[in-house]
Amino acid sequence: MDILGLWQKAVDFHGHMCGGLLTGFLASVYASSILTLDFSADEEVVCISENDACGVDAIQSMLGCTVGKGNLLFHMTGKSAYSFYSRKTGKSVRLLKVGDVPDPKTIDIVEYCRSRGYEEIFSFQNTVIAIPERARIFDSYICDCCGENTGANWIRIQNGKKLCLDCASRYDRFRI
């Protein structure tokens, strides 16, 4: 699919054009060119986003990284930063937004992508987080308190009972 088609796919998925969507779009285009990424049917491409803003929708629509497949993860720092990984090649890159992105309604997306130096928008960095393992499928247990089915990795054992996170008492030695 060409740049304009990919942009329209991202806009359709997100629901409107905005600078945040363009940020994720440009990060996806840049990462794709660096790592030779294609749409991920399974977990071939992994993205760790450091925010949960509009740009993530572009990454989902363009690269096929989704929470449900387990290849879109969040490491919330509030930064416009995205780490992309290729399981096929083992290569990765972290892109941190350092420059301004224009209002997408005022530019020709194709021309902008052709003429813009991505280095003016993103700082190209080595990833600091190792590529995550593939998503696991966990057993489920019924919470002994609320009766709801809960993934095993979210169950806590308290007083001999299996409790979901909502029902388990939290242990925190710091009271603020």
Identity (one letter) of the amino acid at 34? I
Helix residue spans in 66-150 (DSSP H): 109-115
- How would you write the pLDDT of the chain (176 residues) with one tens digit per residue? 799 999 999 999 999 999 999 999 999 999 999 999 999 999 999 999 999 999 999 999 999 999 999 999 999 999 999 999 999 999 999 999 999 999 999 999 999 888 878 988 999 999 999 999 999 889 999 999 999 999 999 999 999 999 999 999 987 778 66
pTM attached to this predicted model: 0.87
pLDDT of the residue at 29 = 96
Can you give the pLDDT at residue 175? 66
Query: By three-state DSSP, how is residue 151 classified?
Result: strand
| φ, ψ for residue 54, nearest 5 deg | -55, -35
CA nearest to 63, candidates 80, 88, 84: 84
What does the pLDDT read at residue 176?
Answer: 65
Sheet-wide strand order for 45-49: 72-74, 45-49, 81-86, 92-97, 122-125
> How far is Cα 11 from Cα 28, in angstroms, rounded to an integer?
14
The Cα–Cα gap between 110 and 121 comes to 16
Which domains does the chain show, CATH number per domain? 3-125 (3.30.1330.130), 136-176 (3.30.60)
Give dist(CA 50, CA 73) in Å, integer. 9
**Residue 116: its pLDDT value, please?**
76
Identity of residue 4: L
